[in-house]
A and B are shown apart, each in its own frame.
Chain A
Amino acid sequence: MAIKTEPFVVNFGPQHPSTHGVFRMRMTLDGEVVVDMEPVFGYLHRGIEKLAEGRTYTQDIPFTDRMDYLASMTNNFAYVLAAEKLAGVAVPERAEYLRVIMAELQRIASHIIAVGTFLNDCGAFVTPFMYMMREREKILDLFDMVCGQRLTYNYMRIGGVSHDIPEEFMPALDKFIREMPGFIDEYDQLLADNEILLARAKGVGILPKKLAINISASGPVLRASGVNWDIRKVNPYSVYDRFEFDVPLGSAGDSYDRYRVRVQEMRQSVRIIRQAMEQLPEGEVWNRMPLRLRPPAGEAYAHIEAPRGELGFYLVSDHSATPYRFHVRAPTLINLTALRDMIIGWKVADAIIIFGSIDICLGEVDR
């Protein structure tokens, strides 16, 4: 006997434990299956691009911290690279290596949260999350030692970094690097072949390779679909061409692959940090520029491989102390383009998993 059903609208509201911030999805359901989905965001739109036009280039660095607040170091990095390109400023070598060390530590910290919250959504309530936050606290201690802040660092400056590392930093970093691979193995052992994770994430939310390129996806989302495109390899910035590391790729483009790519990227980051520590030269850390920097008129775009994708800054200058246009190429906003395609046809519970595996950060989506 055929049952007559009607489509039903459910609002995954801005306040929801699994939406990683204030993100809203208006879902049209047929029973439990998602028929259509409309993403609504802007609940955290703070007008950073407009505010930045009223502040000097150095005063804009704290704004970049607060966009993707889970990966502030890499945000700072991308912005100062763009500003240095615009102003034609050179960076001392010690500062370049310190920037790389901080960026890779930040990548590990960001992926820890990404993987932890993904597992949280899968149903392992907070156990893996608590274990991973324990490691993240160690990284935050290292950052605290260097710049005094736990979350919004404001560490990098145009022309270098703001402080040199204190004496106790290197031994602490060394200890962390020696222990981290062991911790990653510990989680992997529990989770890689876990039945529930495989059942919930394998084959769920597939992003085909052609679609991934067409929607301008970047970061782990693109690499899990099989596209070998990592900015650190194809367009190396800073001193990344001096390090040896692999780029983990997925094959199926499903949520499980995105999770695996992130875990393996953490291992590669440990490798890069070890090499950077060995090669770290002595010297200055900041090529001091006037605080009210006035770059020549023109435009510049610089992009880096942030933990969530390709983060870029497009700056236009009119030879005054404040930028004429400050635009952020937000990877998470662009990665979300495929969300509707990935979710349609799956059930409500899978929608959460797919959304969690893309790993967005609302501060960056909305700016």
Chain B
Amino acid sequence: MEVGAKKRYAYSDAELDRAEGEAIEALKAHSQQPIPDPDKWLDEELRHNILLTTVDAVLNWARRSSLWPVVCFPACCAIELMAAAVSRFDISRFGMEIMRSSPRQADLMITAGTLTWKMAPQIKRIYDQMAEPKWVIAMGACAISGGVFTGSYSVVPGYNRIIPVDVYVPGCPPRPEALLYGISKLQGKIAKRSIF
């Protein structure tokens, strides 16, 4: 094929690019403050000292023992996530070896990598498509605050600008053992939920 071989797209790429660019700028203008972490209900629970019923206990046990993560592999942390998922650090013993490609079938999003403004609308879309109940683990320094790349013109300073985050796992990248510790903390959090 020679240079400048005629493009045979069935769409107008200039229009698509422009529309997507506008969506990114709109999301950027909208996300100037971080979304507060969803943990207010934890304090309330301790204050009222609600005892969990058997139904709650069974539901929470079922939910936390088979969390299915959604495939979302932006950057370097994804490799440690993959390492946590295979032979040595086996995430399958937590019931999580099935990484669902479709967000509709997943309930956990492990954000493994730097978020850029260009990718942000897609992450929001994936998060919105997941069905309740859903949780988010922010893995790595880039996911918590932008990491090494804070201050760059195209990096979002932390996923909590776009989606609410439940557990933060620090590290650059966090070792698989650290990620598994974060997952066990999340399981502890799920165990305290009440459906009432």
Contact present for A21 and B148 (CB under 8 Å): no
Collect the chain B residues with CB atoms within 8 Å of residue A7's CB: 8, 10
Known: A47-B153, A47-B154, A151-B173. A362 touches B75 (CB 8 A): yes
Contact present for A151 and B154 (CB under 8 Å): no
Contact among B1, B11, B114, B118 for A26, CB-based, below 8 A: B11
Q: 1/0 per position for B11-39, CB-CB distance to A under 8 A?
A: 10100100000000000000000000000
Identify which of residues 116-152 in chain A touch chain B, using a CB-to-CB cut-off of 8 Å.
Answer: 126, 129-131, 133-134, 136-137, 140, 150-152
Tell me, in angstroms, the Cα distance from A340 to B6 when the chains sit together.
Answer: 12
Residue of A nearest to B87 (CB): A134
Contact present for B74 and A44 (CB under 8 Å): yes
Contact present for B118 and A42 (CB under 8 Å): yes
Tell me, in angstroms, the Cα distance from A330 to B116 when the chains sit together.
Answer: 20
A70 within 8 A of B: yes
Contact present for B154 and A137 (CB under 8 Å): no
Contact present for B149 and A51 (CB under 8 Å): yes
A250 within 8 A of B: no
Contact present for A44 and B99 (CB under 8 Å): no
Identify which of residues 119-148 in chain B touch chain A, using a CB-to-CB cut-off of 8 Å.
Answer: 119, 122, 126, 148
Contact among B1, B83, B86 for A341, CB-based, below 8 A: B1
Stretch of A61-69, A94-102, A185-193, A259-267 lying at the B interface: A61-69
Contact present for A21 and B13 (CB under 8 Å): no
Collect the chain B residues with CB atoms within 8 Å of residue A50's CB: 152-153
B158 within 8 A of A: no
Tell me, in angstroms, the Cα distance from A51 to B173 when the chains sit together.
Answer: 20
Known: A22-B119, A36-B7, A36-B8. A44 touches B173 (CB 8 A): no
Tell me, in angstroms, the Cα distance from A113 to B16 when the chains sit together.
Answer: 34
Tell me, in angstroms, the Cα distance from A152 to B76 when the chains sit together.
Answer: 9
Stretch of A9-17, A77-85, A157-165 lying at the B interface: A9-17
Tell me, in angstroms, the Cα distance from A5 to B119 when the chains sit together.
Answer: 33
Contact present for A137 and B10 (CB under 8 Å): no
Collect the chain A residues with CB atoms within 8 Å of residue B172's CB: 152
CB distance from B155 to the nearest CB of A (A): 5
Contact present for A66 and B148 (CB under 8 Å): yes
A35 within 8 A of B: yes
Contact present for B9 and A151 (CB under 8 Å): no
A246 within 8 A of B: no
Known: A17-B101, A133-B87. A151 touches B10 (CB 8 A): no
Collect the chain B residues with CB atoms within 8 Å of residue A136's CB: 83
Collect the chain A residues with CB atoms within 8 Å of residue B173's CB: 150-152
Collect the chain A residues with CB atoms within 8 Å of residue B116's CB: 42-46
Tell me, in angstroms, the Cα distance from A211 to B102 when the chains sit together.
Answer: 37
Q: 1/0 per position for A323-367, CB-CB distance to B under 8 A?
A: 000000000000000001100100000000000000000110000
Tell me, in angstroms, the Cα distance from A136 to B87 when the chains sit together.
Answer: 10
Known: A17-B99, A152-B172. A69 touches B75 (CB 8 A): yes
Tell me, in angstroms, the Cα distance from A8 to B173 when the chains sit together.
Answer: 40
B191 within 8 A of A: no
Contact present for A46 and B114 (CB under 8 Å): yes
Contact among A22, A63, A129 for B86, CB-based, below 8 A: A129
B48 within 8 A of A: no
B107 within 8 A of A: no
B88 within 8 A of A: yes
Contact among A17, A131, A363 for B75, CB-based, below 8 A: A363
Contact present for A363 and B76 (CB under 8 Å): yes
Contact present for B154 and A15 (CB under 8 Å): no
Q: 1/0 per position for A48-76, CB-CB distance to B under 8 A?
A: 10110000000000110010011000000
A28 within 8 A of B: yes
Contact present for A47 and B10 (CB under 8 Å): no
CB distance from A37 to the nearest CB of B (A): 9
Tell me, in angstroms, the Cα distance from A21 to B75 when the chains sit together.
Answer: 7
Contact present for A35 and B153 (CB under 8 Å): no
B79 within 8 A of A: yes
Known: A26-B11, A42-B118. A47 touches B152 (CB 8 A): yes
Collect the chain B residues with CB atoms within 8 Å of residue A69's CB: 75-76, 79
Contact among A21, A43, A51, A363 for B118, CB-based, below 8 A: A43
Known: A28-B8, A134-B88. A151 touches B122 (CB 8 A): no
List of 3 A-B pairs having minimum Cβ-Cβ separation, nearest first: A69-B76, A47-B152, A7-B10
- Can you list 24 A-B contacts with CB-CB less than 8 angstroms, sorted by A residue number? A7-B10, A14-B122, A15-B126, A16-B71, A16-B101, A17-B101, A28-B10, A35-B10, A38-B9, A42-B116, A43-B122, A44-B75, A63-B148, A66-B75, A69-B76, A126-B86, A130-B86, A131-B87, A133-B83, A150-B175, A152-B76, A340-B1, A344-B1, A362-B75
**19 extra interchain contacts, Cβ-Cβ under 8 A, other than A28-B9, A344-B1?**
A17-B101, A21-B74, A21-B78, A22-B119, A26-B9, A28-B11, A35-B8, A42-B118, A44-B119, A47-B149, A47-B153, A62-B148, A69-B75, A70-B79, A134-B86, A150-B80, A151-B76, A152-B173, A363-B76
B residues with CB within 8 A of A: 1, 7-11, 13, 16, 71-76, 78-80, 82-83, 86-88, 99, 101, 113-114, 116, 118-119, 122, 126, 148-149, 151-155, 172-173, 175
